[in-house]
Amino acid sequence: MPQLAGLTAVRLLDGYAAGDFSPVDVVEAVLGRAAEAQERTNAFVYIDAEGARAEAVRSARRWAAGEPAGPLDGVPATVKDILLQRGRPTYRGSWTVEDTGVWDEDAPAVARMRAAGAVFVGKTTTPEFGWKGVTDSRRFGTTLNPHDPRRTAGGSSGGSAAAVALGAGPLSLGTDGGGSIRIPASFCGVFGLKPTYGRVPIYPPSAFGTLSHTGPMTLDAADAALLLDVIAAPDARDWSALGPVAGSFREGLDGGVKGLRVAYSASFGGQVAVDPAVAAVVRATAERLAGLGALVEEADPPFADPVEAFHTLWFAGAARVVQPLEAGRRELLDPGLREIVAAGEEYGALDYLAAVDVRMALGAAMGRFHETYDLLLTPTMPLTAFRAGAEVPPGRGFTRWTGWTPFTYPFNLTQQPAASVPCGTDGQGLPVGVQLVAARHHDALVLRAAHALYEAGAAPRLTPAGT
């Protein structure tokens, strides 16, 4: 039943409950898609077919007995190879990580999914330590775009985005320190949410500090709400985790957007050059929100590009990641990663604290901005997917990945919830994402607005050719 591989998690759960099909049927179909995804895009570090089949059998027995383990029982899922998963090495895309060692602990979000009955299909590719906005590494090669294999899937959660797009499980866990969920979601035509920092606990703590978030990558906003209900719970291992959520993220999905105040910023006040095809899709989405009853006006967030502060925090974090490595082992690292590590090692404590000051001022400015506007609407990316294997799009004059991601990393500095919603394609059939941003702790509002776009047909399912 290969068509089962394209169903959302919500639809799968309805089918299990009704007896229309079983987790065994679904997992078999998904494993077929996973093999195809690996061949087409190099989306996986490994595929655990044996383990997934065994879990599917156990899940089918629970459903037959009317005793599902939890809200994800039997749903196939993947996990970015940055996050710990019990029983398997977590390579983080690096030759510096040994196969040997004790791998007996799940990251908090993985543990929650396991307890809820999710069936883990495999671990997905990432650049080394998730350091850049595309997915390639010396250890695992380049991850390709499911819509055009000549192009990048984006990163650093590119494997997760490609897997979801190609039906290799409707749910995936990604991480996002500067756009790493939203960039590949935009390039691959799937939904990706960076929740408010702390909403999903993180362990071990990221060397990139409180820039790094864990969140859902899914086929639509309803699936993301389902997954967030499971993973958004405190964990004793994360001292910075937020308290329990009151209610369910799924409960408010159908509230619509009528009366919501939406600021539409096409280019951050002219600071960003946006490709015309992308700009047209984003404007059409703003108009669609207005047609659904939102109060949309053109307004730009009150900040200049904070890239220098972001670089200070990000490059220093990269230096911290590799600090334990002996000098000889550093030769195993991606050359671009070695470059930013060298830059990070030059910063002093006062440089770092100055960047923190910029971050705090930016957060305060956006807090005031959201006293006027419920949501900010921007392009997720100023361009569509470019040539695979390059950190920056050729001929654009950028030197680092932050040059072409100006809409994403500011909201890691501010810790706000932000999602990429697929809302159309450019003239070459490549997906275009629209970013929705809300004030901190208003994750439910982002999901509600995104769901309204899906329900209105303004966020079409962008199925890669041949699936």
Q: Mind telling me the catalytic residues?
A: 80, 156, 180
**Distance from C-alpha of 343 to C-alpha of 400, rounded to nearest angstrom:** 12
Cβ proximity of 79 and 125 under 8 Å? no
Assigned token pair, 418: 């932000």
Q: Looking only at Cα atoms, what is the longest distance across the chain? A: 62
Assigned token pair, 467: 């699936």
Assigned token pair, 106: 């799940």
The gap from C-alpha 267 to its chain's centroid, in whole angstroms, comes to: 22
**Distance from C-alpha of 215 to C-alpha of 111, rounded to nearest angstrom:** 14
Assigned token pair, 327: 């000098």
Cβ proximity of 93 and 31 under 8 Å? no
**Distance from C-alpha of 366 to C-alpha of 178, rounded to nearest angstrom:** 17
**Distance from C-alpha of 45 to C-alpha of 34, rounded to nearest angstrom:** 11
**Distance from C-alpha of 106 to C-alpha of 87, rounded to nearest angstrom:** 9
Cβ proximity of 228 and 461 under 8 Å? no
Assigned token pair, 321: 């990641």
Closest alpha carbon to 184 in 386, 354, 10, 360:
386
Q: How far is CA 110 from CA 47, 125, 202, 444, in A?
A: 16, 16, 10, 21
Closest alpha carbon to 435 in 382, 370, 371, 366:
382
Assigned token pair, 20: 């229309």
Cβ proximity of 225 and 253 under 8 Å? yes
Q: What is the residue-wise DSSP string for 402-464?
A: GGG-TTTTHHHHTT--EEEEEEEE-TTS-EEEEEEEE-TT-HHHHHHHHHHHHHTTSS---PP
Closest alpha carbon to 30 in 11, 55, 51, 2:
2
**Which strand (E) or helix (H) includes residue 90?**
none
Sign of CA dihedral 451, 457, 459, 462: positive
Assigned token pair, 388: 């695979």
